Structure 1
Amino acid sequence: MRILLLDPFHGAAGDMTIGALLDLGADEAQVRAAMASVVADPVFSRVKRCGVGAVRVVTHAGPAHRDLADVIARVETADAPAAAVERAKRVFCRIAAAEESVHGHAPHFHEVGADDAIADVIGACTALETLGVDGVAVLPVALGSGTVVAAHGTMPVPAPATLAVLRASPLTTRMGGGEGELCTPTGAALLATFTTLRPEEIGAARVAGIGYGAGSRDPAGAPNVLRAVLLEREGVAGADEVDILETNVDDVTGEVLGHCMDLLFAAGARDVCVVPAVMKKGRAGHLVRVVCRPADAAPLTLILARELGTLGVRCIPAVHRSVLERRLVRVTAGVGGERREVTVKVGYIGDVVSSVKAESDEVRAWAAESGVPVRTVARIVEDAAWKDLEGKE
């Protein structure tokens, strides 16, 4: 089981996150393509921060004020894996919710609506996707001290939006750690969206890799870097805890249920299912069940209440879940005379491959372009994956 441990001891920002993951071994070509597709070709370079070697990421873009819909539309155009796009959308939904809690309404994004922020988020999400880790844990986040000049004037550090993101997340923090704003709203939202484990849940593990992402400043007293550590833990299966949310509804249409499912997945739900049910007085209805991280239970409950009009949502907390080791691999397959790479999720029991599943969004897109049924494309890709894996073994 591969676990990513992020250590924002000296803070976190979007560019630092990308740099740390690239230094750890994320696919540079995919990250560059994703960022370039929404803004421009970024610059990756090796630098030193207080003597520590790190990767510096620079995105050349101007300021912009956009609302959430504009940002999401830009993210959806990115040349990035579907899972990375969905994760990036969740990052910006977190930021939008934080802004709304500060201002009492959903204003236009300011700094985080600029092109460089959009590129940073899609770049970081793509980098994480290419690493193919099974879980992410984040150590306490350093917040800094002093003041920062933002769109609404001079603010004490941390900025209000950063605090709002952190309040709605499972992350822990520590004040200080250096002068100035060490953790940006974008950095906080990325860490909050990435995290799936508490650090104390990792247990015994072997250090398999280390990466450092550099910030723009180079203070003399401490390295301005975000550290990423790749850990490998022995065992057939990993484990984590999830909450299960349930509600019964008998007065909504299939279209409303489908839309609600899309919103739940975009907000971070691990799984959503809708089960036909017979309710009191013989009425036909549905049981809606959501599997989620404990930290996401409250916002997902609000989505269920708002979209379905339900008056009650049951929460079964802290359910233990065993998770088989899985890895994401890229497999080349041919359909209708065209060959392309498709993401495939591979499950393992020990060292033995137990399952192969082609990434649904990529398969559906290829099927639509080629006119070949989705199930045929999926079978061809998965057959190619089995052959490729057998050859490597």
Structure 2
Amino acid sequence: MRVLVFDPFHGAAGDMITAALLDCGADRERVAAAMRAVVAEPAVETVTRAGIRATKVNTHATPVHRSLDEVFKRLDDASPVVPPEVLAKARRVFSRINAAETEVHGAHVHFHEVGADDAIADVIGACTALATLRVDGVAVLPLALGSGTTTGSHGTIPVPAPATVAILKGSGLATMQGCDAGELCTPTGAALLAEFSSLNQADLGGYTITAVGYGAGSRDTPHSPNVLRAMVVETTGALPQDTVDLLETNVDDVSGEVIGEALARFMAAGARDASATPIVMKKGRPGSLVTVISLPETSAALARLMARELGTLGIRCIPAVHRFVAERTMADVDVEICGHKKRLPVKCGWMDGRIYTLKAEFDTARDWAAELDLPVRDVLRAIEDAAWNQVREKRQDAGPGDK
């Protein structure tokens, strides 16, 4: 399994997270395009922090305070260049921040520092960078918070900031004070790591490191590197199994357009999957079975959202469904189509030490299909055929055609 591991020993901020992911190999062009949708061209440079080479990102943004709706509008404006799943993740990050600020300050009209353009750019940049790394999970090692006081919109406040504490509460992330004084973890950094985290440190077991990146903060303290380290690793053991809740409801008075929009909203609210299946209901009426897969801690909120969006009076919840989670790895395969050659990624599923399924990455296949002026399905088929041939040559597994 390909996993991203954050090691925030010196804390984390939004720009440090984006920079660390870029240094790990995230697609710089896509990240820059996403950030340009909300700010000017970001500057990416190489710096040193206490002798460690690191990547630094500067958004060149202005300190404008916005409401949550205004932040969401800025994210919506980026939809022509940012995939829907990335925007959904960014919305969830700001929803975490909004909930924390509401808990700390009560009802508020505007975000404070985290509503500025640089924070929006950092969040959309980090979410885009994570998507381009194509990892199967994210683990966050203990997060340094800092100590002392800091100054913000509400004057002098203790470190960690109350909003940061509210975000981390219930996130499952382990924290520590850290070696340095001052604010080491910002609310934006906390919200990003809380949203990204999907694995516990204990789930990792043994792993091999395939890439390392360092994201630099603004301060350069001489005896302690102000950097966030990120590592892409391949785990050597079996993937953890987990439990999910299965939420279901039957509807026969909702249009396909409404169901499609509802499924998108369920995914944006944190569902692990959402689908609709045509069914025949009583008296021969056509209907749909709407199914949402949820983590246990988000089931209640998603069930309420299903009732609101679909108008249904009841949601079935089948708790603690044991999921089989296959081991997954990424591999690059050489493909040739009509004399054109390219090296493209595929995702492989493993069982009992053998590859039993593989799938081409859609985005890269789509882009190459556009370059070649070919149907995407033809390019996907060519990539997967080449991948199965490569698997057979290595004698790791046999493709479906050999069975």
Q: Could you list the structure 1 runs, at least 4 aligned residues long, displaced by more than 4 angstroms after superposition.
A: 249-252, 275-287, 308-313, 328-334, 350-353, 360-364, 387-393
Classify 1:26/1:299 alpha carbon distance in 2 versus 1 (closer, same or farther; 3 Å).
same
The residue aligned with 2:395 is none
Secondary structure of the 2:96 match is helix
Counterpart-to-counterpart distance in 1, 2:331 and 2:262: 28
Task: State the 1:377 CA deviation.
Answer: 4.0
Secondary structure of the 1:171 match is coil
Query: Which residues of 2 match residues 165-244 of structure 1 at below 5 A?
Result: 165-234=167-236, 238-244=239-245
The residue aligned with 2:161 is 159
Note the aligned Cα RMSD (angstroms). 3.8
Classify 1:378/1:65 alpha carbon distance in 2 versus 1 (closer, same or farther; 3 Å).
same
Compare 33-42 and 168-177 and name the one that shifted more: 168-177
Q: Is the 8 A contact 2:346 2:387 kept in 1?
A: no
Residues 95-142 of structure 1: per-residue CA shift (max 9 Å, x gap): 233333334446322222211111111211222122221111111222
Counterpart-to-counterpart distance in 1, 2:386 and 2:364: 21
Counterpart-to-counterpart distance in 1, 2:321 and 2:50: 42
Tell me the matched-pair count: 381
Residue identity in the other structure for 1:382: L
Classify 1:89/1:323 alpha carbon distance in 2 versus 1 (closer, same or farther; 3 Å).
farther
Residue 126 (str. 1) matches residue 124 (str. 2): no
Residue identity in the other structure for 2:68: L
Classify 1:69/1:252 alpha carbon distance in 2 versus 1 (closer, same or farther; 3 Å).
farther
The residue aligned with 1:380 is 378
Residues 224-272 of structure 1: per-residue CA shift (max 9 Å, x gap): 211112211236x734424113243558624554333222101221101
The residue aligned with 2:320 is 317
Instruction: Structure 2: state its 5+ residue gaps.
Output: 392-403
Counterpart-to-counterpart distance in 2, 1:107 and 1:333: 56
Residue identity in the other structure for 2:378: I
Q: Is the 8 A contact 1:257 1:308 kept in 2?
A: yes
Residue identity in the other structure for 2:91: K
Query: Which residues of 2 match residues 4-43 of structure 1 at below 5 A?
Result: 4-43=4-43
Classify 1:155/1:351 alpha carbon distance in 2 versus 1 (closer, same or farther; 3 Å).
same
Q: Is the 8 A contact 1:132 1:328 kept in 2?
A: no
Counterpart-to-counterpart distance in 2, 1:362 and 1:67: 38
Task: State the 1:194 CA deviation.
Answer: 1.1
The residue aligned with 2:401 is none
The residue aligned with 2:274 is 272
Residue identity in the other structure for 2:242: E
Classify 1:351/1:318 alpha carbon distance in 2 versus 1 (closer, same or farther; 3 Å).
closer
Counterpart-to-counterpart distance in 2, 1:304 and 1:106: 27
Query: Which residues of 2 match residues 104-115 of structure 1 at below 5 A?
Result: 104-105=106-107, 107-115=109-117
Counterpart-to-counterpart distance in 2, 1:181 and 1:138: 19
The normalised TM-score by structure 2 is 0.79
Counterpart-to-counterpart distance in 1, 2:105 and 2:285: 43
Task: State the 1:384 CA deviation.
Answer: 4.3
Counterpart-to-counterpart distance in 2, 1:61 and 1:112: 12
Counterpart-to-counterpart distance in 2, 1:308 and 1:297: 16
Q: Is the 8 A contact 2:18 2:122 kept in 1?
A: yes
Classify 1:262/1:332 alpha carbon distance in 2 versus 1 (closer, same or farther; 3 Å).
farther
Task: State the 1:389 CA deviation.
Answer: 4.2
Secondary structure of the 2:95 match is helix
Classify 1:115/1:167 alpha carbon distance in 2 versus 1 (closer, same or farther; 3 Å).
same
Counterpart-to-counterpart distance in 1, 2:163 and 2:321: 29
Residue identity in the other structure for 1:354: T
The normalised TM-score by structure 1 is 0.81
Residue identity in the other structure for 2:234: E
Q: Is the 8 A contact 1:344 1:382 kept in 2?
A: no
Counterpart-to-counterpart distance in 2, 1:253 and 1:164: 38
Residues 333-366 of structure 1: per-residue CA shift (max 9 Å, x gap): 99xxxx9x9x9763344675833356489969x9
Classify 1:74/1:240 alpha carbon distance in 2 versus 1 (closer, same or farther; 3 Å).
farther
Q: Is the 8 A contact 2:85 2:268 kept in 1?
A: no
Residue identity in the other structure for 1:380: D
Counterpart-to-counterpart distance in 1, 2:75 and 2:167: 20
Query: Which residues of 2 match residues 240-255 of structure 1 at below 5 A?
Result: 240-248=241-249, 250=251, 253-254=254-255, 255=257
Task: State the 1:13 CA deviation.
Answer: 0.7
Counterpart-to-counterpart distance in 2, 1:381 and 1:94: 39
Q: Is the 8 A contact 2:142 2:176 kept in 1?
A: yes
Residue 347 (str. 1) matches residue 345 (str. 2): no
